[in-house]
Structure 1
C-alpha cells in the first residue's frame, strides 16, 4: 500500500565485522624483536631496575639494604663501569636519607630537639595527647621524662619504679607544678594523676629543711586529701615508693583505725600526710595535729569529696592552714620566679592543687577561695570513657536472669582474672559474691558495711591474685587501682553516667585494653540517653539496637518530664 520508499541496507553487525578486521595491533610477536643477543646490555638483563629510586613500604634499614644489594649487582654485571655507578648509587642513597631526615625533622615533634620545637609542633603534640590548658604563663608539656625538670635522683627512682613513658596528665601537669603554680587538673579516671601531683610535691619538699626534734611537732610539709579510705591507702602506697628512698615519711589518717594508733604513727613527725577529710578533721579538733608549716596541699577526687558530703570538713581543714604563706591574688601568682622564692628559712608560698573529674559549683567555690590564679589542665573529653575500654550493653531484666548471664560470661573463659562485678545495693553484694563462688571462682566482696580490716583484706586478695572476682558497690568505682583488670561487669547499671564512667575505668588502665559489660533494664530509664551518647562517641563500642530505639534513650530525662 502506498508508494515504495527507499529502504536502508545498513547492518550494524556487518559494520562491526568490517572495522574489527582492520583494527591496528599495537603488540608484536616474540620473533619480531629486533634486539641483538650479542649486545651485552641485552644479554645480561637484570631482573629489577637498579637505578636510584624510592622504595614504597620499606623502612629506612630495608631501603638501605636494597640500595646496597643493587650496588653489588651493578659491580658484578658491569666490570668496566659498575664500580663507579655503584658509588653514585650509594651517594644518591645518602642524599635521600638526609633529605628524608630533614623532612621528618620539620614535620614530626618526636624527632626534633627541644629548641627546634615551634608553636605548630606543640599544637600537634597537644592534640595527639588530648591536652588542653588555660591560664597565664603556662609552660610547654614534657615530651619525655628527661624534659620534666625533675632532679636526677627522682628520675632514677622513676626508672626503678618502671614508669617508662609519662601519661598525658603527667606530661602537662608536672612542668606547671614545678613552677610552684596552683593547678586544677581535670582528667578521666586511670590517667596517672597520683604521680602527676606526687613527683612535683617530692621535689618541693626535698628543698625544705629536714624535720628535727624541734620542728617535727609543727605538722607536715604536705597534705593530700582523698574521699575514701581505700584511695588514701593507695596514694600512701604509691607515695612511699618515691618518698622512702628520699628519706621522707608518709603517714595515712583514715577511719576504721584507732586514733591512738595514728597518733603513735605521728610521734616522730611526717613530711607528708594522706587523709580522708572526716578523720583529718577529728585529728585537728583533738589537737593531735597542727599545720604550722604546711606549704603544699592536694585535693584528689575533689568532686567525689563534695558528693560524699565533705564540703564543710574540707573548708574547715583548709581554714586551719597557716595564712602566712598564702599566695597573693595578683599576677605574681603566675610568675614562676616569684612563686619559687623562699619566704623564710623553712617555707615558701603555699602551693595548692586540685584534681577532679568534673567541676560542680561547690568545687568551683572551693577553688576560687583557696587557689590563686590557677592553671587549668584538661585531658581528653571529660565524662567520656577512655578508648581502651570496649563497652558492651545487654538488656537483661530480673535477678535470676542476670545471675545466669553472669555465669555464662565467667564460665566462657574469655577473660582472665581479676574481674570486678559492680552492684548497687550492699545486701546484693554478698549475695552475688556467693553466687560467683558457687560457679567455681574465688570471690571477695567490698561495700560500706564492711570493717576497715575486711575492706583492706578484700582489696589485698584481689590485687595479689588470691581471689579472682571482686564484687563491689560504687565504693570501688572511683580512684582504686587494681592492676590488669580484664573485665568489669555492671550487674546493676549505675545510677548516674558519671558513676558508670568511673566503674568501667577500673579496666583499660595504663594503656592496656579492657571490656565492660553492662546489664540494662527498664528501671534504668534515667541514664539510657547519656549511655547511648557515650557509646556513640566510642570508636570501639556499639550501641545495641534495643537501646537505640528505646523511648527513654531519645531525649534527656529532664526534657521528657517537662512535656
Structure 2
C-alpha cells in the first residue's frame, strides 16, 4: 500500500539491441590461415579420455600429473608413509591371489599347512602321532622307486585311495602304523607298497641265503582273506622280483612246505605260522581276529619274533631320518603294521603290547556304515516268516545276481541252500565246515556266474571279494553290515532275540545319508549296549 510498482519497459520493434559478439561473416581469421576454416574437434569417449590414444597411457600420464602435484605438497614423512601403504596393498593383493587357489591347482612345493588341512578334510583323513608326513596327492608325487611306480601304473592304479594317501608315506618312514578303515578301502596296497620298499633294502635271497627269509609276514583271520591278499600282493611283488607264498589250512601241507622251502620274501598266513626272522609284520583285520578267538594265536606268533630289532621307545631314536640309517640292512628295526575296521579295547591292548609309538590313521569314522550301501532293516518275528520273506525278496525282479546271504551259524547254511535249490534258485554255500577246495569252488562259481546266490557264514564274510553284488542279506543279525560290494543294498533281519543289539543298527541308519529308519525300529525302545554292559560290570 503506497508502494510504487516498477513497470516493465516495452521495447519497440524498431529499436535494436546492441550485440557484443562478432558475426561469423565479420571473422577475417579464415583469410589469414586456412586451418581456421577446418577446425579439428577432439573426439571424447567419456570421462575426459581422448579417442585414438592408448587408455593406459592416458591413465599413466594423468596419474603422473596428479602425483607430481601431490609430491610438491608432501613432506619426507608423507612420502615414506604413502610408499609403505602402496607396498602393503600390493602384498595383500598377492596374498589374496595366492590363497584363492585350491590345493589341486598348486604345485607340491607351494602347499601350505592350510592346504594340507583342507586336503585331509576332503578325503576324511585324520591322524594321531608326532611327525606325521603329508599325504600323497597322486602316485606321480609318491617318493617311491621308479620300478615300483612303473608296477603301480601297469596294474592300473589311477589315484590313491584315502587310506593309501596317508598310510604309505608313514610306512615309508619305517614307522609302526594303526590303520582304521572299512573293508574294501584299499588297505592291502597301503601296507604292501611300503613293505616292498622295506624289503628292497634287504639282501636279495639266493639259493645260499634263502634260509634267511622270509622277511615279511602278513597275518589274516580267514583263508579267503589270505588268498585275496596274496592275489593283490603278487601283482606288486612279481614286478619287483620278490616271491610271495600263502600258508592256509585245507591245502596240502607238503606242497606249501615245498613252496616255502624254495625261499620267499613274503609269507601270508592264516594265524598258524611262526617265523621268528621276519622284520616286517602285518596284522590285517585285527578286530576280526579277536572276534574269532585268535588272540592267543596272534600273541604266540608275535612273542616268537626276535626282540633284538624291536624299536626303542625314546622319541629321539625314532626320528624318521635316524630310523632309516640306524641299523644296517637285515638288522633294520622291525616294523609292525595293524589294520582294522574297528578299534575295540582288545585291539588297543594288542597294539600297545607290540607296536612302538604307532602313527594312527583313521578314514572317516571307525565302525561307520558304508555310505554307498543303502541299509534296510526289517523286524521279523519268527524263523518261518524269515524264510518266506527271503523268498519274496529273491523272487522279485529288483536284484540281479550275484546275491550274498549271511548267517551266523554254519548249521543253518546247508538247509537254507538246499531249500533255495529246490525252489529253482542257483545257490551255493560257504562255511567253515567245507574243505578248502569246496570253499574256493563255491566262490569261483559265484564270480563266474554259474551260481547266483551264495549262502555264507559271518565268519567267512571277511575276505569275500565279489564285484557288482546287488544285494547283501543278513539273514541273522551280524556284527558288520554291508561288508561285500562297493555299492548296492543290504537288508538285515532282526528277530525277537535281537533286542539287545538293536541300538547299533538303528544308529547306523540314522547316520547313513541314503538309508531310512523303519517305523517299527524307530518306535522300538532299544537300549544302548554300551550302557548295559557298563551297568552289569559295575554290579
TM-score range, shorter chain: 0.7 to 0.9
Is 1:330–1:373's contact at 8 Å kept on the other side of the alignment? no
With over 3 angstroms needed to count, the CA separation of the structure-2 counterparts of 1:556 and 1:316, relative to structure 1, is closer
What does 1:150-549 correspond to in 2, within 5 Å? 150-277=144-271, 279-280=272-273, 284=274, 290-292=275-277, 294-332=278-316, 334-341=318-325, 343-494=327-478, 499-501=479-481, 504-507=482-485, 509=486, 513-549=487-523
Runs of 4+ more than 6 Å apart: 554-557, 559-563
Larger Rg: 2
Following TM superposition, by how much is the alpha carbon of 1:104 offset from its aligned partner in structure 2, in angstroms?
Answer: 8.8
Residues 510-551 of structure 1 deviation map (CA, whole Å, 9 limit, x = unaligned): xxx211111222221111122111110111100011100012
CA distance in 2 between partners of 1:334 and 1:483 (Å): 42
Is 2:471–2:489's contact at 8 Å kept on the other side of the alignment? yes
CA distance in 1 between partners of 2:264 and 2:534 (Å): 54
Residues 389-438 of structure 1 deviation map (CA, whole Å, 9 limit, x = unaligned): 11011223333322222222223222222211111221221222223334
CA distance in 2 between partners of 1:242 and 1:137 (Å): 28
SS at match of 1:213: coil
CA distance in 1 between partners of 2:488 and 2:466 (Å): 13
TM-score, normalised to structure 1, is: 0.75
Following TM superposition, by how much is the alpha carbon of 1:309 offset from its aligned partner in structure 2, in angstroms?
Answer: 2.2
How many pairs does the alignment contain? 449
CA distance in 2 between partners of 1:207 and 1:200 (Å): 11
CA distance in 2 between partners of 1:374 and 1:401 (Å): 49
Contiguous gaps of at least 5 residues in structure 1: 1-80, 86-98, 285-289
SS at match of 1:362: helix
Is 2:477–2:492's contact at 8 Å kept on the other side of the alignment? yes
SS at match of 2:333: coil
Is 2:309–2:334's contact at 8 Å kept on the other side of the alignment? yes
Question: In the alignment, which residue of structure 1 is the partner of 2:24?
Answer: none
Contiguous gaps of at least 5 residues in structure 2: 1-50, 56-92
Is 2:182–2:341's contact at 8 Å kept on the other side of the alignment? yes
CA distance in 1 between partners of 2:323 and 2:287 (Å): 27
CA distance in 2 between partners of 1:317 and 1:357 (Å): 22
With over 3 angstroms needed to count, the CA separation of the structure-2 counterparts of 1:413 and 1:163, relative to structure 1, is farther
Is 2:224–2:462's contact at 8 Å kept on the other side of the alignment? no
TM-score, normalised to structure 2, is: 0.78
Alignment RMSD, CA only? Answer: 2.6
With over 3 angstroms needed to count, the CA separation of the structure-2 counterparts of 1:431 and 1:155, relative to structure 1, is same
SS at match of 1:194: helix
